[in-house]
Structure 1
Amino acid sequence: MFLGVFLGILLSLVILFRTSKNTAFRIYGWSLLLQSIIAIDVFLCYTGLLKYVPHVNDSTEPLVLLLGPSIYLFIYALLERNSITFKKHWIHVLPSTVYFLSQIAYYTQPVSVKINAYLGAYFSEIQRIPVPDNTNYSYLWIKDEFRWLVLSSFIIYIILSIRLIVKHFYASKTKNANSIKVNKYDFSRNTIIGFLATFILVFLVFLNFEDDAGDHYIFIFLTSLILITTFVLLSESRFFENSWIADKYETSKIKNDQSSIKEIKAYIKDEAYYLLPTASLKDLAKNLGSNSNYISQIINVNTNLNFNDFINQYRIEESKKRLLDKNYNHLTIEAIGNSVGFKSKATFYNAFKKHVEMSPKAFVKFQKSVS
């Protein structure tokens, strides 16, 4: 369990520091951190070390209700390519928040009440210590049903996650799939399998153990999942690729390093450069005061895309918005393609299928069917 806590916190911090805001793997990082914090609580209980910090007993319960949502939102962000924000997805945090508010009476109780709660869960044969006569136990009405709340949450989010997997798993291979060791569909599927196995284990533990007596089995299993995840992410690391030692651009004599991938992306987005039909590598380099060779290298090394694919991904994202925007209903699909910078219908359709894995018409039809 301690190994799981250590690796879980380490891995989650690496992910959180290395990923951008609102991305799928940032959500996964938060999920790992939640699991690790909850595991600390269980670790303290099973080792008896909680006697040194009894006031934190059961303090992580609201976080348990975030485990299901965090895994689902990771899969949703990964497969739907949509960012996760509190404004759009606050409903998933609501059960945890409501439970937290219902337990404020417990959190403000004297330490003696919390010690008794710990003894009742792990050492039922030990005599309880005295508590104040006016102790308020109103929080127990929902606390006693907490395990079933967790099971209900797991069931709901497993169903939602499986729906997403089924929806996307049989889609055609993603772009650059041949260069990806573990593609996102496999990773999502394996996450679901791990999630489902955890649910089955939680269900069996709840049926066979009173209170928290079987929680160590759950978190030893989660430790195994964290070890596997650590192995997968390390095996995907660029550190082990030959290009990390001798990059194909390593011998380049270009010394102009004023333009970074962040600056390139910022310029393309802020200036809506991708909407220009005349957008080209040479013109972009000129606007950035750099060398087209260097800009090409920066884009390729950081995104594994050539310039055309790089600029087209911006155009496709904008076209997806316009295809669903009522303000553009007067335009044909071809006209929308032209409006985002594509010079011909064929170029637009080919790029759209490459990035979205379906035609523009099929995309519109699909979005209407799910809305």
Structure 2
Amino acid sequence: MAITALIYNIKTKRKNKFLYEELQKERIQESIPEKDIPVVSKNEFITDKKIENLLQKLSALEKTEFYLTIDCNLYNTAKKIDTNTTYLSKIINEYKKQSFNEYVNELRIKYFRNRLNNDPKFRSYTIKAIAGELGYGSVNTFASAFKKQTGLSHSYYIKKVSTEITSTNEKKGIKS
């Protein structure tokens, strides 16, 4: 029984380490901007120009960090980019390859990961405060979204980032 638990623990640690390293590589690569190029079939009901325009507006809206508000939903987002919920939903499904909620969660988790790595004060926040800053109504919603997107628990990720940064700063002779 103890050996089974030990083997499970070792496998879990390896998996978590691998997932964490992949997330860090991905975070570094995300700094390279990606160009969304719409491809439309003949039977689409939205024109190429309209799609391109809405994708540009959506991209500009992302830069305003609109997704960090608790009232970020499909309706409010569509209003902000002067379209309707049907068009916005279709565009996100087709060109982002995800639902609106998945899209918003992805933006929030990316923001969380970047801010955690770059803001020492943010690393000292409680999980409840972090969830609130990210626009989540509850810690459980944030925890579920983070786990679904990364495969890791938020607490493991936070500890790992904090440990790595502390270790790096000590090597450089920087006081935390």
Match of 1:306 in 2: 99
Match of 1:336 in 2: 130
Residues 318, 84 of structure 1: alpha-carbon distance in 2 compared, 3 angstrom cutoff:
closer
Counterpart CA distance in 2 for 1:368 and 1:331 is 12
Residues 303, 339 of structure 1: alpha-carbon distance in 2 compared, 3 angstrom cutoff:
same
- Which one of 264, 277, 285 corresponds to residue 70 of structure 2? 277
Q: CA deviation at 1:322?
A: 3.7
Q: Indicate yes or no: 2:16 matched with 1:83.
A: no
Q: Indicate yes or no: 2:117 matched with 1:320.
A: no
Within-5 A mapping of 1:95-134: none
Asked if 2 retains the 8 angstrom alpha-carbon contact of 1:268 and 1:274, the reply is yes
Higher alpha-carbon Rg: 1
Residues 276, 78 of structure 1: alpha-carbon distance in 2 compared, 3 angstrom cutoff:
closer
Q: Secondary structure at the match of 1:300?
A: helix
Counterpart CA distance in 2 for 1:301 and 1:309 is 13
Q: What are the Cα deviations for residues 331-371 of structure 1, in whole angstroms up to 9, with x where unaligned?
A: 20121011011111111001111222211111012224444
- Which one of 261, 267, 273 corresponds to residue 55 of structure 2? 261
Q: Indicate yes or no: 2:157 matched with 1:360.
A: no
Q: What are the Cα deviations for residues 227-273 of structure 1, in whole angstroms up to 9, with x where unaligned?
A: xxxxxxxxxxxx9xxxx868xxx454x5692633232122122x210
Amino acid at match of 1:313: E
Match of 1:293 in 2: 86
- Which one of 130, 134, 140 corresponds to residue 346 of structure 1? 140
Asked if 2 retains the 8 angstrom alpha-carbon contact of 1:319 and 1:337, the reply is no
Q: What are the Cα deviations for residues 77-105 of structure 1, in whole angstroms up to 9, with x where unaligned?
A: 897211388xxxxxxxxxxxxxxxxxxxx
Gaps of 5+ in 1: 1-75, 86-238
> TM-score, normalised on structure 2?
0.64
Report % sequence identity: 28
Asked if 2 retains the 8 angstrom alpha-carbon contact of 1:276 and 1:340, the reply is yes
Counterpart CA distance in 2 for 1:262 and 1:337 is 28
Counterpart CA distance in 2 for 1:336 and 1:84 is 21
Q: What are the Cα deviations for residues 114-161 of structure 1, in whole angstroms up to 9, with x where unaligned?
A: xxxxxxxxxxxxxxxxxxxxxxxxxxxxxxxxxxxxxxxxxxxxxxxx
Residues 79, 333 of structure 1: alpha-carbon distance in 2 compared, 3 angstrom cutoff:
closer
| Structure 1 residue runs of 4 or more that deviate by more than 4 Å after TM superposition | 76-79
> TM-score, normalised on structure 1?
0.32
Bigger RCO (CA 8 Å, 6+ sep): 2
Within-5 A mapping of 1:1-371: 80-81=25-26, 82-83=28-29, 250=43, 252=45, 254=46, 257=50, 259-269=53-63, 271-324=64-117, 325-371=119-165
Root-mean-square deviation (CA, aligned residues, Å) is: 3.0
Asked if 2 retains the 8 angstrom alpha-carbon contact of 1:275 and 1:341, the reply is yes
Residues 286, 360 of structure 1: alpha-carbon distance in 2 compared, 3 angstrom cutoff:
same
Counterpart CA distance in 1 for 2:93 and 2:30 is 27
Q: CA deviation at 1:330?
A: 4.4
Match of 1:124 in 2: none
Kindly tell me the number of residue pairs found equivalent between the two proteins. 134
Q: CA deviation at 1:285?
A: 1.0
Q: Secondary structure at the match of 1:260?
A: helix
Counterpart CA distance in 2 for 1:338 and 1:362 is 19
Match of 1:23 in 2: none
Gaps of 5+ in 2: 1-20, 32-38, 166-176
Amino acid at match of 1:317: K
Q: What are the Cα deviations for residues 181-239 of structure 1, in whole angstroms up to 9, with x where unaligned?
A: xxxxxxxxxxxxxxxxxxxxxxxxxxxxxxxxxxxxxxxxxxxxxxxxxxxxxxxxxx9
Amino acid at match of 2:121: N
